[in-house]
Each structure stands twice: as structure tokens, then as C-alpha cells.
């Protein structure tokens, strides 16, 4: 590993403790990143071009897809560079930007998933009032709240982290500049930062997850009252994709941010963090397409229209 760096640079250790694994991770992460770009871009295009997807549910899904595109792009190019070559450094400014954007997008996703759970609650528990409650203006406002909350959280927590006095070696035991790793790198008293991080983790992870669980508790009660087996299956099908996405995202995020402070947990947390940053954005579009007949129908229509347009062009 090349440790040559300026005094202001950080060294992202990433997975340098597992040198035999680095090239394998490079291939897997590059493949996942390509799938993330293609899958999420496709969902965004379908949500824009197909009128049948102009509903609150798919509006939120397209927001999630755009967020996942930004989320992975924040860290994956730097990670791929670190895995492939000996140079592991990132400039202070690069680290600051990565920290700010990564935290803002992660916070936004937590809140957006809670908003999507509320949307499913209204759809299942208040179906007759769904169009009235989840009108486009409210959907846009809820999405705006998620994005603004992420931005505010990052504005609050990033400066105190970057103002810490860091040890001379500046070796960040992570693959991305994140608050826990940077706090651990500091040579001064970080009690305030640790308390701030604990409060933020509770507000960002525990509160949205609680809202999701409450929403699905109410949904489960409503579904169990449906007498028709077909009706129950349809209701569960409406929520299953989102519930799977929530389970993958929050389980990996909690494993990263609410873990004990010891070397074993730190090493394990990097692999959970990798799944959190790279795995979930890759799986989300697959979950929403493979398990969703409406999205698959929209994809077939788009494919057919594109094919017919090309045939028309060739015919002329």
C-alpha cells in the first residue's frame, strides 16, 4: 500500500487488511455498480415516461432510485480506485465532500423509506381516501421533507467532525469518510461528537424504523380482516417489495452505526457498510421490477415502443 500523502490527506484503509480479497471485491463492486446505474436509471425513466406509473408510490420509488444512484456514486469510484491500485489516499476536501454527501443521502433514504411506509399504510388501510390524502402536492412535500432533513443533518454533524484534531497518520479504518471512523481517528476528547452521533443515529435510524413498524402493524391488522384469500395476497403483494427493501437497508445500517466499539465489530462493520452502500442500491431496482407486475408491464411497453420506433426508422 502506498502511504505517500500530503499532511492534509487521509489514507482509506478500506479492505487492505484482506489483500487477497481486494481484486475479488473490485470485480464484484464494479459489477454491482454497473447494475445499480442501469437498474435505477431504468426505473426513473419508466416512472417519467409511463403514465400508469404517475402515482405517489412510483414517485417515491423514482426518488429512491435517484437517491441510490447518487449514494453509490459518492463512494464507489474512490473505493474502486483504492482496491485496484496501491494509492489509498483521499484529500481533506475530498473526504469532507464525501462525508457531507454520504451522510445527507443516507439520512434522506431513512426518512424516505418511512414516508413510503406511510404511503402503503394509506393505500391499504384507507383505500377509499387514498387519492385525496396522497395527492401530488402532499407527495412532493413529503419527498422534500426527506431531502431537506438529510441536508440539515449533514450540515449539523459534518463541521464538528471535520474540526477535530486528527492523529498524524490519518489512517481511516473504513472505505469511505464517515463520522464513526473519523471520530475514532481523532487524538482529542470526542465525547461531544460521540453523544451527537448517538443522538443522530437514534433520530435517523430508530425513529423512522419505528414509524415503519407502526405502519406495517396497522397494515397487518387491516389485511388479516380481509376475508378473501386473493384480497389478502394482493394486499401483501403491494407491500412486500417495500418491506424487503426496508429490511435490507435498516438491518445493514444498524449493523454499521449501532455496533459496539471494538476491532472485531469495526472489521465486520466494514462489510455490512459495503452492503449498505453498494448492495442495497443494486438490489432495490431488482426487487421493484422482478416482484412488480406494473413495472414489468411498463418495461415491456417501453421496449416495444422503442423496437417499433426503430423498425419505423429503418423502414424509412
Spell out the residues 6+ positions from residue 259 whose beta carbon is closer than 8 angstroms to its own. 265, 266, 268, 269
Predicted confidence band at 187 (pLDDT cuts at 50, 70, 90)? confident
Residue with cell string 446505474: 37
pTM of the model: 0.86
Spell out the residues 6+ positions from residue 36 whose beta carbon is closer than 8 angstroms to its own. 68, 69, 72, 278, 281, 282, 285
Q: Tell me how far CA of residue 185 lies from CA of 172, 228, 286, in angstroms.
A: 7, 58, 37
Q: Which CATH superfamily is domain 10-315 in?
A: Rhodopsin 7-helix transmembrane proteins (1.20.1070.10)
**Quick one: CA torsion of 93, 98, 101, 102, rounded to 10 degrees?**
-160
**Per-residue pLDDT at 155 exceeds 50:** yes
Predicted confidence band at 35 (pLDDT cuts at 50, 70, 90)? very high
Proportion of the chain above pLDDT 70, given as a percent:
86
Q: For residue 2, what are the β-bridge partners?
A: 87
**Per-residue pLDDT at 311 exceeds 90:** no
Per-residue confidence (pLDDT) for residue 274, from 0 to 100: 84
Region of poorest pLDDT, from 204-218, 230-244, 259-273: 259-273
Q: How many CA atoms lie within 13 A of 40 on its CB side?
A: 27
**Rounded-to-integer distance, Cα 136 and Cα 149, Å:** 20
Region of poorest pLDDT, from 91-100, 154-163, 230-239: 230-239
Mean pLDDT, range 232-260, rounded to an integer = 80
Q: How many CA atoms lie within 13 A of 276 on its CB side?
A: 24
Per-residue confidence (pLDDT) for residue 33, from 0 to 100: 93
pLDDT, averaged across the chain = 83
Between strands 10-12 and 171-172, the pairing is parallel
Longest dimension (CA), the chain: 73
**Per-residue pLDDT at 2 exceeds 50:** no
Region of poorest pLDDT, from 31-40, 233-242, 294-303: 294-303
The string of pLDDT tens digits covering residues 85-138 is 777 888 889 889 999 999 999 999 999 999 999 999 999 999 889 989 999 999
**Per-residue pLDDT at 309 exceeds 60:** no
Predicted confidence band at 3 (pLDDT cuts at 50, 70, 90)? very low
The string of pLDDT tens digits covering residues 267-308 is 667 778 888 888 889 988 888 776 667 777 776 776 666 655
Per-residue confidence (pLDDT) for residue 316, from 0 to 100: 52
Proportion of the chain above pLDDT 90, given as a percent:
30
Structural domain boundaries of the chain? 10-315
Per-residue confidence (pLDDT) for residue 262, from 0 to 100: 54
Amino acid at each position: 500500500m502506498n502511504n505517500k500523502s500530503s499532511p492534509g490527506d487521509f489514507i482509506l484503509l478500506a479492505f487492505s487488511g484482506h489483500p487477497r480479497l481486494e481484486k475479488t471485491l473490485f470485480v464484484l463492486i464494479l459489477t454491482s455498480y454497473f447494475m445499480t446505474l442501469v437498474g435505477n436509471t431504468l426505473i426513473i425513466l419508466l416512472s417519467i415516461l409511463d403514465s400508469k406509473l404517475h402515482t405517489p408510490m412510483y414517485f417515491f420509488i423514482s426518488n429512491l432510485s435517484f437517491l441510490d444512484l447518487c449514494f453509490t456514486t459518492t463512494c464507489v469510484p474512490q473505493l474502486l480506485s483504492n482496491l485496484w491500485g496501491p494509492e489509498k489516499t483521499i484529500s481533506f476536501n475530498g473526504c469532507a465532500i464525501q462525508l457531507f454527501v454520504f451522510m445527507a443521502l443516507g439520512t434522506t433514504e431513512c426518512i424516505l423509506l418511512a414516508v413510503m411506509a406511510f404511503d402503503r399504510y394509506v393505500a391499504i388501510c384507507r383505500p377509499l381516501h387514498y387519492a385525496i390524502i396522497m395527492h401530488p402536492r402532499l407527495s412532493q412535500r413529503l419527498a422534500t421533507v426527506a431531502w431537506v432533513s438529510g441536508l440539515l443533518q449533514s450540515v449539523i454533524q459534518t463541521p464538528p467532525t471535520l474540526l477535530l484534531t486528527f492523529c498524524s497518520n490519518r489512517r481511516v479504518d473504513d472505505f469511505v469518510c464517515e463520522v464513526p471512523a473519523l471520530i475514532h481517528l481523532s487524538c482529542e476528547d470526542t465525547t461531544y461528537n460521540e453523544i451527537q452521533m448517538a443522538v443522530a443515529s437514534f433520530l435517523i435510524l430508530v425513529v423512522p424504523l419505528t414509524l415503519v413498524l407502526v405502519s406495517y402493524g396497522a397494515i397487518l391488522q387491516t389485511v388479516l380482516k380481509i376475508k378473501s384469500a386473493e384480497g389478502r395476497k394482493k394486499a401483501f403483494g403491494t407491500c412486500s417489495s417495500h418491506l424487503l427493501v426496508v429490511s435490507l437497508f435498516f438491518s445493514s445500517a444498524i449493523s454499521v452505526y449501532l455496533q459496539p466499539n471494538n476491532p472485531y465489530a469495526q472489521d465486520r462493520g466494514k462489510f455490512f457498510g459495503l452492503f449498505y452502500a453498494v448492495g442495497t442500491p443494486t438490489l432495490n431496482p431488482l426487487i421493484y421490477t422482478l416482484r412488480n407486475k406494473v413495472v414489468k408491464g411498463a418495461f415491456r411497453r417501453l421496449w416495444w415502443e422503442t423496437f417499433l420506433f426503430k423498425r419505423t426508422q429503418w423502414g424509412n
